[in-house]
A and B are shown apart, each in its own frame.
Chain A
Amino acid sequence: MKFKLDKLASNVKAIRQDFPILDREVNGKRLAYLDNAASSQRPVSVINKFNEIYSNNYSNVHRGVHTLSMESTELYENVRKKIANFINVDDQNEIIYTKGTTESINIVARGWAKYNLKKGDKVVLSEVEHHANLVPWFMLRDEIGIIIEFIPVLDDFNLDLDSLEKIIDKKTRLVAVSQISNSLGTIIPLNQIIETAHSNGALVLIDAAQSAPHQKIDVKDLGADFLVFSAHKLLGPNGVGVLWAKMDILEQFKPFIGGGDMISKVTFENATWNEIPYRFEAGTPNITGVIAFGEAIDYLNNNNYVELCQYAHYLSEFARKELSALSYIEILGPSDPSLRSSLFSFDIKGVHPHDVAQILDSAGVAIRAGHHCAQPTLNRFGFSSTARASFYLYNDMNDVEQFIESIDLVEKRFL
């Protein structure tokens, strides 16, 4: 174990060189970036890809017969295969490019559920979901009268799996849950949820926004029907996301956004749809963003990201243990490290999380403070906001030490 940690620490030391932003100072201090669950940073290969494409290949895709358009199209389409491999999908046409996880879920709600679910049908969510996996379903409920029910979260921050049989029933058409809670850090045991859903004839949507950066995603192994995630949390550009669904399900979708590139034929009266996936990608897409996302996937694969993320988890748990020894700090989330991701929410008694984040910022430490777009989850545990530290594959022990020292500054000023 010790040997492995030393090896991982030295790997992290090497890859930090690839992230220019980690060299900058914040308020005169070394930057300790611990807001990775909100958005990660990018390696130089991803950053340079934009320059390279705009300098050499850029044009619109799927439209021109000229060389630049063909080159752009090829670079852009090649990433579909990379993403398919990344989540173990055979048919790359099942990969839909979106703006991000939020848009992906909205497309499922507006493009699939709206036409395939009817009044009284049930959509089951969990009590640890991000607003992105709540609000689209509320909007659909108000429009077509679906019923929303929640898998409860217990006082130990794990989902109440004993309630599954009661909540997921024959009326349930979709179960939409995250793989990792962004506010609590809880890893959701999906197997039992998916099994119960499928045995009742319901489909399953996995929100992998927090899990895809840290672990190998295998949709076949999971048995998921829809899976969504964002590029910007795994070293890719912001404004790029993925919606994956099985082809027979994608065929049940109606296009959510109409316009150029998504049609087969348009007359003054009507239009017919282009093939899948283009049917769902109207308008000029985020061409450079998608191509640069391909670069991010290469970077993750070439650097054995799953192993590096084990080190991020080690750091997160180390920091959590240090903080939990302080009487004035309460930490949310399961106590068992194997049930937690590489993030933790915490509360310093008597100090508002914004004040905590402000003091930490003065020490160069970037953390998130607020409701993490999970207001109902935090309210369930009696908080309106918390501070959150989240770790990724370029974090090192210096970040942890700087973080813990900066907590002392909060104590000195406020307690």
Chain B
Amino acid sequence: MDASLDDLYREIILDHNRNPRNYGALNEGNIVEIEEFNPLCGDKIVLYLQSDKEIIVNVHFTGEGCSISQASASIMTDLMIGKKINEADELLDKFRLYMTDLNNSEPDVNLGDIDAFQGVKKFPARVKCAGLAWNSLGKALQELNS
């Protein structure tokens, strides 16, 4: 098997793709709903962010996409549940820095499973796939902050 493909499709990504966590709509409580598209491939994600004051109580997603975008959404939602909104803002910045800086191979410890996306950086066309869910998170946080 191809080494860089093994790196792209790490087992943790394939696992989250097969069994996405936090999949399904949320419709109770204080929900911000964001729909985000990748015009390149027609992929779509809907993010449901439930907050209570400063705390992100729950984050879910629906939609369809490639293994990278689905795994990224699954890992991101897992990571955000229970975080304060300002912590989520910081994590988003750190994620973006990590995905765009090719030399920065070690992600912030607080990004958890995100180092699984190390291999994605070698495929510039796929960085967008990994970023789709995070972009929708950014819009949701913006809405909460405004």
Q: Hey, which bits of chain A sit against chain B, CB under 8 A?
A: 27, 351-355, 358-359, 362, 369-371, 375, 378, 384-385, 412-414
Which 4 pairs across A and B sit closest by C-beta, in order of nearness?
A352-B66, A371-B42, A354-B66, A370-B41
Interchain CA distance A370-B1 in the complex, whole Å:
25
Could you tell me if A27 and B2 are in contact, using CB atoms closer than 8 angstroms?
yes
What residues of A have a CB within 8 angstroms of the CB of B40 in the complex? 370
Could you tell me if B42 and A385 are in contact, using CB atoms closer than 8 angstroms?
yes
Can you list, as one digit per residue, whether each of B39-52 has a CB less than 8 Å from chain A (1) or not (0)? 01111100000000
What residues of B have a CB within 8 angstroms of the CB of A371 in the complex? 41-42
What residues of A have a CB within 8 angstroms of the CB of B8 in the complex? 358
A353 is contacted by which of B2, B9, B41, B44 (Cβ under 8 Å)? B41
Could you tell me if B65 and A352 are in contact, using CB atoms closer than 8 angstroms?
yes
Of B42, B64, B66, which is in contact with the most chain A CB atoms at under 10 Å from its CB? B42
Of A355, A370, A375, A385, which is in contact with the most chain B CB atoms at under 10 Å from its CB? A355
Say what secondary structure dominates the interface of chain B.
mixed
What residues of B have a CB within 8 angstroms of the CB of A27 in the complex? 2
Interchain CA distance A312-B44 in the complex, whole Å:
35
Residue contacts A-B, CB under 8 angstroms, 21 given = A351-B67, A352-B64, A352-B66, A353-B66, A354-B41, A354-B68, A355-B9, A355-B66, A355-B67, A358-B8, A358-B126, A359-B5, A362-B2, A362-B4, A362-B5, A375-B42, A384-B44, A384-B64, A385-B43, A413-B5, A414-B67
Could you tell me if A358 and B43 are in contact, using CB atoms closer than 8 angstroms?
no
Distance of A373 from chain B, by nearest CB (Å): 10
Interchain CA distance A362-B2 in the complex, whole Å:
7
What residues of A have a CB within 8 angstroms of the CB of B5 in the complex? 358-359, 362, 413
Q: Hey, which bits of chain B sit against chain A, CB under 8 A?
A: 1-2, 4-5, 8-9, 14, 40-44, 64-68, 70, 123, 126, 129
What residues of A have a CB within 8 angstroms of the CB of B65 in the complex? 352
Distance of A372 from chain B, by nearest CB (Å): 9
What residues of B have a CB within 8 angstroms of the CB of A413 in the complex? 1, 5, 9, 14
Residue of B whose beta carbon sits closest to that of A370: B41
Could you tell me if B66 and A370 are in contact, using CB atoms closer than 8 angstroms?
no
Could you tell me if B42 and A378 are in contact, using CB atoms closer than 8 angstroms?
yes
Of A354, A362, A370, which is in contact with the most chain B CB atoms at under 10 Å from its CB? A354
What residues of B have a CB within 8 angstroms of the CB of A412 in the complex? 1
What residues of A have a CB within 8 angstroms of the CB of B64 in the complex? 352, 384
Distance of A225 from chain B, by nearest CB (Å): 33
With A352-B67, A354-B129, A359-B5 known as contacts, the answer to whether A369 contacts B41 (CB < 8 A) is yes
Interchain CA distance A77-B72 in the complex, whole Å:
54
Could you tell me if A370 and B42 are in contact, using CB atoms closer than 8 angstroms?
yes
What residues of A have a CB within 8 angstroms of the CB of B43 in the complex? 352, 384-385
Of B43, B66, B123, which is in contact with the most chain A CB atoms at under 10 Å from its CB? B66
What residues of B have a CB within 8 angstroms of the CB of A414 in the complex? 14, 67
Interchain CA distance A351-B44 in the complex, whole Å:
16
Residue of B whose beta carbon sits closest to that of A384: B42
Can you name 16 extra interface pairs (CB under 8 A) apart from A352-B65, A413-B1? A27-B2, A352-B64, A353-B66, A354-B129, A358-B126, A359-B5, A362-B2, A362-B4, A362-B5, A370-B40, A371-B41, A371-B42, A384-B43, A385-B43, A412-B1, A414-B67
Distance of A360 from chain B, by nearest CB (Å): 11
Distance of B133 from chain A, by nearest CB (Å): 14
Of A352, A385, A412, A414, which is in contact with the most chain B CB atoms at under 10 Å from its CB? A352
Distance of B14 from chain A, by nearest CB (Å): 8
Interchain CA distance A121-B47 in the complex, whole Å:
42
Interchain CA distance A246-B64 in the complex, whole Å:
46
What residues of B have a CB within 8 angstroms of the CB of A362 in the complex? 2, 4-5
What residues of A have a CB within 8 angstroms of the CB of B123 in the complex? 358
Residue of A whose beta carbon sits closest to that of B5: A362
What residues of B have a CB within 8 angstroms of the CB of A369 in the complex? 41
Interchain CA distance A375-B14 in the complex, whole Å:
27
What residues of A have a CB within 8 angstroms of the CB of B9 in the complex? 355, 413
Distance of B98 from chain A, by nearest CB (Å): 21
Could you tell me if A385 and B41 are in contact, using CB atoms closer than 8 angstroms?
yes
Distance of A388 from chain B, by nearest CB (Å): 12
Distance of A102 from chain B, by nearest CB (Å): 16
What residues of A have a CB within 8 angstroms of the CB of B67 in the complex? 351-352, 355, 414
What residues of A have a CB within 8 angstroms of the CB of B14 in the complex? 413-414
Distance of A311 from chain B, by nearest CB (Å): 31
Distance of B62 from chain A, by nearest CB (Å): 13
Interchain CA distance A278-B70 in the complex, whole Å:
51
Interchain CA distance A27-B122 in the complex, whole Å:
13
Interchain CA distance A362-B9 in the complex, whole Å:
12
Distance of B125 from chain A, by nearest CB (Å): 8
Interchain CA distance A114-B14 in the complex, whole Å:
51
Interchain CA distance A375-B64 in the complex, whole Å:
14
Interchain CA distance A362-B43 in the complex, whole Å:
22
Interchain CA distance A414-B14 in the complex, whole Å:
8
Interchain CA distance A412-B6 in the complex, whole Å:
12
What residues of B have a CB within 8 angstroms of the CB of A351 in the complex? 67
